[in-house]
Structure 1
Amino acid sequence: MSSLMNFTIISQLQPLYLMEVNSDNGIKSYEGIMVDIADEMAKQMNATYNMIALDIGYSSDPVLDELLISDDNLTIALSTITISKDRLDKGVGLSFPWATVGISLLARKPETEAHLFSFLGPLDATVWFGILGAFLAVCFLLYVMSKSKLEEKYRSNERLDNSIWFTFAALVGQGQDVALRTPGSKILIASWWMFVLLIVNSYTANLAAFQTVSQMSREIGSLDDLVHQTKYEYGVVNNTMTQWTIEKSRNENFQRVASYLRENPENLVNSVEEGIQRVKSENYIFIEEIIPLKYAASQDCSLEVVGGQLNTAFFGVAMKAEHFMTIVDDIILGFANAFLFFMSII
């Protein structure tokens, strides 16, 4: 390839994928996944590129339309273009997938009331009172034994505060400077140690179960939960690939969603941002492609992605010049591995 070759990339502004960066000199610049792919393509092809960023929302159809009307064979459509038979029939070539994606659900996290003594939750109140009673009893017996005439020759802990400190140190797994010398005291403390070991292990096991039950308390955990409830409204972005996928799917739950949206068109939103805002402010579940949902959840700790990935789709690069296809495919195959790593940490 000639170093003077310059190609045009048509894309669209979307959070995470392609975002405009403010610059002091007034020159538009961009950042995001699309820029990373474009930079790698330019590097591998020993070329430069011009980025045309369309502000058209989330439907990638206008990007393909711009590609089709372009007379320049050095024009590439780089966006969230789903590989499908309908798009291949339009007369454009599509590369290997640079990302494997799917639809998921965005919900507001259940509100949990945090309080100072939440760490007491894994054990019942009677158990805590029992532990307190056992602690006081051991302290008292340890002190009494130190005063006993039967063990007078071993006497060392004659102060009550030493007995309390020794027993408390054993409870929290810490050492102390007082050494027990009487046989009775050693037997008592050995029994106390065994009791503490059992209590700590029981608390740890109950804490894990307590946290698991708290996570399972959410009302919506899957698409099946969503379509069989009436408390939450749900919707998608209107006139997007997500809506088309749901309407064309043979999956029973997707068919239920499509029927619900036809009956309740007011739950369709005009943008991903509007859908996310409705999740924050209403009893609303937003159904959308998983990448912007994960990005939204990573930016706002009150949101979470639930239900897993409900289907599988592939994003590809579109072009009209067939002689570019092999070059772009080689670049995409290398970039896809890095993208998968990025998605694992987002």
Structure 2
Amino acid sequence: MVRLGDLLSVGESWSGNPLGQNEAGHFPEELVVTAIDDRPHFIINQLANGSYSYDGYLYQLWEILAQQLELRYRIQPLLNGGGYGYLDPNGTWTGLVGELAAGRADVALSWLTYRVDRAAVVHFVDAVPVERDQYAFYVAGGSETSRGLDSDAVAALLRPLDAAVWWTLLTFLLIVSALLHVVVRYSRPGAETRRTVSEMTWGSCLFFSFMTLVGQGWERTPRSLAARLVTLSSWMLGFLMYCSYTATLTSRLTVSDVSRPISSLREFSEQPGWTFAMEPGLGILNDWRSSDDAVERELYWRAVSGEGFVAINLTTDTIHVTTQSHVMTFIAINRLSFVLGNEACKLVPLLDYVPPKTNTYLAISKRHKKLKKALNKLLLKMNQAGTVQRLRNKWVWHGDDFCDSVVVIRRLSHNDLAAVLIIVPLASAVSLCILAVEHLISKFKVAEKLKIRCWGQRLLNCLRQKVYDSDLTSFKWGG
């Protein structure tokens, strides 16, 4: 149990009565506080005599708030299900939101996501978020797979850089090559040697520019200031891209791929025998009910009808269904770690995109505007003093890598580098083919030269013979 003295001893800026005597104690009526067993935020334990004891992050936070505001209250746990609260097919709010909207409760000790539809029937104590959630779809992943030599592995060589970056690099390569060739050729007289001008053709400049991208030096470098400026910029670009590419490629190769049985909501809908699991009463059900996506409407129908659906509860064995095969779960993964520990690491995101985290707040009945103002004011001071954060850190884990608490550097295997290592034999085979083609072309050129020379010799012989015959005829006629 957190001692109030430890939490409140934060200096003179926040005394034992932060609101002042004129504001505290204005809520004499007994408030009805409702909550669900939502560990670690609110924990409900039934005792042997049938009564209940409570604990958890939000319970201890509420104890401080109630003591500071001198609130009288009784906790009435919601044990018949319903969850956080959504609009059922009859248009009635369920769960905690339903208790507040119907006037059966004054305060809900839960971390509720702010939604416009909920805000129409309850007040959110929105000055300070009490939690952040990140709900997404998860499935049980398969075994870790290492990469082999296939089309995906070869394509992985291009993935460290976006397609737009590759096209930009190609454009810059052509621009630098053309600019280097022009600057070298048309530099002032005497700035470049004749050999440099003759050897640095457009093709040679293109090859030199490519060498900068792979971290190689040039056999010949220009001497003029303008050409050297182009050369230095080319080398700088090549060095930065070379380092970025190799670092990103290595990091991608050292990450193990975990296979997913399905990769989209559409596949989930089309695969027979799959079960959908989620906590009851999530507000997103209101969105799925009127969604334009048929699959999301199907998820709403499953949650309402119970067909092909499991309502999971962190306090029962239903939570273990999330790690079974052929089950798709919609949940915040860090909540599972509190109950399942490392077993929650069996789940992998169904989609590549995981929605960003959103703030969640306490909620109270619409009847208590003054209470909302007082709670907001007190929570702001508690947040500035660090009390809210200390309570949160005590109960709720907030990391993103609980599955990899120890950093391990994995050695790259042959399978990981298959697409890289194949470059050498592939280049050797291509170079041999080019060599054979060059030999054929060379022989063809030699044959053509011999043929032309033979034709030339024959033509010369014919001309000589005609000249000789002409001279002989003239000699005869003259005789």
- How far has the Cα of 1:44 moved from its partner? 2.7
Indicate the residue corresponding to 1:268 in structure 2. 309
Indicate the residue corresponding to 1:78 in structure 2. 109
- How far has the Cα of 1:29 moved from its partner? 0.7
Indicate the residue corresponding to 1:325 in structure 2. 372
Indicate the residue corresponding to 1:143 in structure 2. none
Q: Please, which of 384, 394, 398 is the counterpart of residue 344 of structure 1? A: 398
- How far has the Cα of 1:47 moved from its partner? 3.7
2:360 is equivalent to residue 314 of structure 1: yes
| Deviation digits for residues 136-193 of structure 1 (CA, Å, limit 9, x no counterpart) | xxxxxxxxxxxxxxxxxxxxxxxxxxxxxxxxxxxxxxxxxxxxxxxxxxxxxxxxxx
User: One-letter code of the match for 2:398?
Assistant: S
Indicate the residue corresponding to 2:473 in structure 1. none
Q: Matches of 2:336 and 2:344 in 1, distance apart?
A: 12
- Give runs of aligned pairs for residues 144-159 of structure 1, distance below 5 A: none
RMSD: 4.4
Indicate the residue corresponding to 1:2 in structure 2. 25
User: One-letter code of the match for 1:102?
Assistant: Q
Q: Matches of 2:123 and 2:388 in 1, distance apart?
A: 18
User: One-letter code of the match for 1:103?
Assistant: Y
Indicate the residue corresponding to 1:244 in structure 2. 286
Indicate the residue corresponding to 1:284 in structure 2. 327
2:63 is equivalent to residue 16 of structure 1: no
Q: Is the 8 Å Cα contact of residues 242 and 288 (structure 1) preserved in structure 2? A: no
Q: Please, which of 297, 308, 312 is the counterpart of residue 258 of structure 1? A: 297
Q: Matches of 1:31 and 1:24 in 2, distance apart?
A: 17
- SS of residue paired to 1:107: strand
Q: Matches of 2:64 and 2:124 in 1, distance apart?
A: 18
- Over 3 Å counting, the alpha-carbon distance change for 1:50 and 1:56 in structure 2 is same
Q: Is the 8 Å Cα contact of residues 124 and 361 (structure 2) preserved in structure 1? A: no
- Over 3 Å counting, the alpha-carbon distance change for 1:98 and 1:28 in structure 2 is same
Indicate the residue corresponding to 2:135 in structure 1. 103
Which structure's relative contact order is higher, taking Cα pairs within 8 Å and 6+ residues apart? Answer: 1
Q: Matches of 1:20 and 1:209 in 2, distance apart?
A: 44
Indicate the residue corresponding to 1:136 in structure 2. none
- How far has the Cα of 1:208 moved from its partner? 7.0
- Over 3 Å counting, the alpha-carbon distance change for 1:109 and 1:322 in structure 2 is same
| Deviation digits for residues 225-269 of structure 1 (CA, Å, limit 9, x no counterpart) | 96598488352446542433334456x6xx534346658963222
- How far has the Cα of 1:101 moved from its partner? 2.0
Indicate the residue corresponding to 2:70 in structure 1. 46
Q: Percent identity among equivalent residues?
A: 12
Q: Is the 8 Å Cα contact of residues 35 and 110 (structure 2) preserved in structure 1? A: yes
Q: Matches of 2:53 and 2:323 in 1, distance apart?
A: 31
Gap runs ≥5 in structure 2 = 1-23, 86-93, 148-247, 403-479
User: One-letter code of the match for 1:292?
Assistant: R
- How far has the Cα of 1:54 moved from its partner? 1.0
- Over 3 Å counting, the alpha-carbon distance change for 1:244 and 1:303 in structure 2 is farther
Normalised by the length of structure 1, the TM-score is 0.55
Q: Please, which of 109, 123, 128 is the counterpart of residue 93 of structure 1? A: 123
